[in-house]
Amino acid sequence: MAEHYYDPMLCSCSPENPMTMGVTAVLTEQIDGNLLKEAAEELRERFAYFYVRAKIEGNDIVVIPNPLPMTVRNTWAPIELATKEANYHLAAIKYEGDRICLEINHTLSDGAGVLPFFKSLLFVYLSKKTGVSFPTQGFRLPGSEIPKSETGDPFAAVDTDSIQEPFYRKEPTQDFYRLPSRNGEADHIYYLKLPENAVMKYCKENDGSPNVLLAVLISRAIRRADPESEKTVTVSVAIDHKSMLGNFDNYRMFANAYELDFPKERQLDDIMKSCTITRGQLMLQAQPENSAWYIKTRKMGFEKMKAMPLQMKLDILPKAASASRWTASVSYVNSRSFGPLDPYIKELYCLAEVCAVDVMSEIACINHSFFVALGQRNSSRELFEALLCELEQANIPFNIMRDEEYHLCGLRYEDL
């Protein structure tokens, strides 16, 4: 492995907040586990930075190469990363029937790294399964060049010394709406399929975009489900700062979120007006200077943490990472197409922990359909049913593909 500028903030993870994310697909045929294991092993050369384990080194928890095979399991049951069960890896693959899922420690990567790996995994697997020689353009495959921008210093192309504090930075809302607590209930997830043409038509007519529209509809659904609450509904929208600054391609986590406020006094009856205001809030924050400032402060934060005692990091960072900051989140990963693999994919979902929010929504688009994964911190259907009412009112057709308890991989360090 190349020497990294910094190691991922693995000490920000904990059993309470494993900071796991993933991507799952439903294919047109049943998964062949043996071929999937072969595909996973062949990608080690190209994605060596995902075939790692955690180790205490000096004053930090770092990643080192892991020669053991990445775990591929024929079950949908959760597993704990960094344990013997996961071959001590910080990533794992599972499959069941025609479903396949990659789960990875979120501090190791974000969607910018996980989606390319997943696309390559499907490419190698489907090549073996079908015998078809797919066009390789757009895929990171064994034998292809690994650009320095992908594994080198992620700050190399950014002149952090010249970056000034941005003109506008929104202060976080402290007293925001929380879903009613239901102790002992497991997280739940719903999977929705929406026609792309209907969603984009509605967005065009109402000055929206997929992430803005979903933020508005979730806020309306919360007001519909709990009309008596006076609390401000806050919705985070994921931002990829690398893309904002020119897409400095690497697998590390430079995604963050901007906050949208929906106070009780703001009427949401007028969808177009609501979307326009929401877009304005988002555009005010999503400026290149804001992303540059985030990158600068992130670099400064890494440098400060290097000097912090390990035990202090283990005490402070997990609590900060798991602190609830918003009512809901919306993340729209630009997937659109897996190229020649599209005919073999029926559904595609991105996944993230329901941790810093009560309602997690992830949007993916493929084969002219939007696929929404909606996770929440309890098993009540009240909010979900309210969201379906909003979709019906907007004349956006939907299919409920499945709903189930939500369990991504956990995390428990062993034998560091």
Reduced to 3 states (helix: H, G, I; strand: E, B; else coil), residue 254 is coil
What confidence tens digit (pLDDT) does each residue in 26-39 have? 999 999 999 999 99
Q: How far apart are CA 373 and CA 363, in angstroms?
A: 7
Hey, which residues does 234 pair with through a beta bridge?
A: 261
Helix axes 210-225, 196-205, angle to 10 degrees: 80
| The pLDDT of residue 248 | 58
Let me know if 348 is exposed, middle or buried by CB neighbors in 10 A (0-12, 13-18, 19+): buried
Reduced to 3 states (helix: H, G, I; strand: E, B; else coil), residue 80 is strand
What confidence tens digit (pLDDT) does each residue in 351-373 have? 998 888 999 999 999 999 999 99
Q: What percent of the chain has pLDDT over 70?
A: 96
Reduced to 3 states (helix: H, G, I; strand: E, B; else coil), residue 21 is strand
| The pLDDT of residue 3 | 47
Mean pLDDT of 127-146: 94
The half-sphere exposure of 136 on its side-chain side, counting CA atoms within 13 A, is 8
Predicted confidence band at 1 (pLDDT cuts at 50, 70, 90)? very low
Reduced to 3 states (helix: H, G, I; strand: E, B; else coil), residue 84 is helix
Cα 355 from chain centre: 12
Closest CA to 63 of 112, 9, 110: 9
| The pLDDT of residue 7 | 61
What confidence tens digit (pLDDT) does each residue in 175-223 have? 999 988 777 788 999 999 999 999 999 999 999 999 999 999 999 999 9
Q: What are the distances in angstroms from CA 311 to CA 10, 11, 59, 308, 315? A: 13, 9, 9, 8, 6
Q: How far apart are CA 212 and CA 105, in angstroms?
A: 27
| The pLDDT of residue 8 | 62
What confidence tens digit (pLDDT) does each residue in 309-356 have? 988 888 888 888 778 889 999 999 877 789 999 999 999 999 998 888
CB 251 within 8 A of CB 301: no
Predicted confidence band at 247 (pLDDT cuts at 50, 70, 90)? low
pTM summary value: 0.93
Mean pLDDT of 68-85: 95
More confident residue, 324 or 141: 141
Residue 56 has pLDDT above 60, yes or no: yes
| Count of C-beta atoms within a 10 Å radius of residue 26 | 18
Let me know if 195 is exposed, middle or buried by CB neighbors in 10 A (0-12, 13-18, 19+): middle
| The pLDDT of residue 2 | 42
Closest CA to 317 of 301, 330, 329, 331: 301
Helix axes 210-225, 271-285, angle to 10 degrees: 120
Predicted confidence band at 106 (pLDDT cuts at 50, 70, 90)? confident
CB 116 within 8 A of CB 42: no
Mean pLDDT of 223-244: 90
Q: How far apart are CA 221 and CA 176, in angstroms?
A: 16
| The pLDDT of residue 249 | 66
Phi, psi of 207 (to 5 degrees): 55, 40
